Chains A and B, each alone.
Chain A
Amino acid sequence: MNETNEARTVAEQPARGPMSEERARRAPDAPRVDVRETREAFEVVADLPGVDLDGVEVTVEKDVLTIFGRPHLEDPAAYRRVYGRDPASAYRRVFSLGEEIDRDGIRATLERGVLRLTLPKARSVLPRKIEIRAA
């Protein structure tokens, strides 16, 4: 499984809620990720603070896996910002998938702003123990 910098088409719905124009125009940030390879699968964990189920999208198109998240963060009403910077308008990270991944078996969960993806390895690449029978 490799990462690719190539941006592919993802449904880019307009930002929800009041958001500065400058922030809405900004390109999506790359979220921090962990990728772990186990015997049976690849596991991808991405930090998407402020993103809820309505704002997250995981797509697989041919060999490209795209993680996209739109944080549901509005500035507090009737306050003015005095410190910090605008949060991400969106998060996006793109990976290219090898043949070894079982596309239909990909599963995802989202909890406390953390997306967890499990990408099972195809049966053909799983280690197999060959049973030896007495001749």
Chain B
Amino acid sequence: MTWQSAFGPHFARDWDPFRALDRAQAGLDAVRGQANDSYAPGFPAVDVWTNETGLVIRAELPGVDPDQLDISVVGDTLRLAGSRPADSLAEGETWLRHERGHGSFERTIRLPFKVEADAVAATFRHGVLEVTVPKAGAEQARKIEVQIH
């Protein structure tokens, strides 16, 4: 019997921070009764991709002025904050539908590795933010040359 089977299949996998985040978000959505409610905790929805060099985070932020976006990396945490101004009604105007969110938002994402902070890059196109977060050099897999004397 290996130590893994002693703890059941659940522990056989490495702990995956993104899976944990997903579960936490699903729990929040269930409590609120509505998924992806704008400007509630969890806005904006993010997508994360990874490979051995780092990860890519994408957030949908339609109508947000990229100059009003604040993206920072402190330690192992990436913080994404910004705001979208509210459209106001002039006299004699009425909302027939008012579904789009407005106001300020903040989202922090814990990163599973150390980051090359100076090399973090972001693009904003058609209301979609994409942040590329490279792993710090020491965190990348290294090939060790074997020296024969």
Q: Do A and B come from one complex?
A: yes
* B50 part of interface (Cβ distance < 8 Å): yes
Contact of B48 among A32, A51, A84 (CB under 8 A): A84
**Separation of A80 and B130 alpha carbons in the complex (Å):** 15
* A76 part of interface (Cβ distance < 8 Å): yes
Q: How many of chain B's residues have a CB under 8 angstroms from any CB in A?
A: 41
**Separation of A33 and B101 alpha carbons in the complex (Å):** 10
In the complex, chain B residues whose CB is within 8 Å of the CB of A73: 58, 128
Q: Is the CB of A45 within 8 A of B50?
A: no
Q: Is the CB of A112 within 8 A of B94?
A: no
Q: Is the CB of B49 within 8 A of A82?
A: yes
**Separation of A35 and B96 alpha carbons in the complex (Å):** 5
Q: Is the CB of B56 within 8 A of A76?
A: yes
* B126 part of interface (Cβ distance < 8 Å): yes
* Residues from 80 to 125 in B contacting A, C-beta threshold 8 Å: 87, 89-90, 92-101, 124-125
From B5-13, B14-22, B135-143, the one touching the partner chain is B14-22
**Taking CB as reference atom, which chain B residue is nearest A51?**
B126
In the complex, chain A residues whose CB is within 8 Å of the CB of B60: 49-50, 87, 113
* A100 part of interface (Cβ distance < 8 Å): no
Q: Could you show 25 A-B contacts with beta carbons less than 8 Å apart? A: A36-B89, A36-B93, A37-B94, A38-B90, A42-B96, A48-B127, A51-B126, A52-B125, A71-B126, A72-B126, A76-B49, A78-B51, A79-B55, A79-B56, A82-B19, A83-B19, A83-B21, A83-B46, A83-B47, A83-B48, A84-B45, A84-B46, A87-B60, A111-B63, A112-B127
Q: Which residues of A contact B (CB under 8 A)?
A: 1, 3, 32-39, 42, 45, 47-52, 71-73, 75-76, 78-85, 87, 111-114
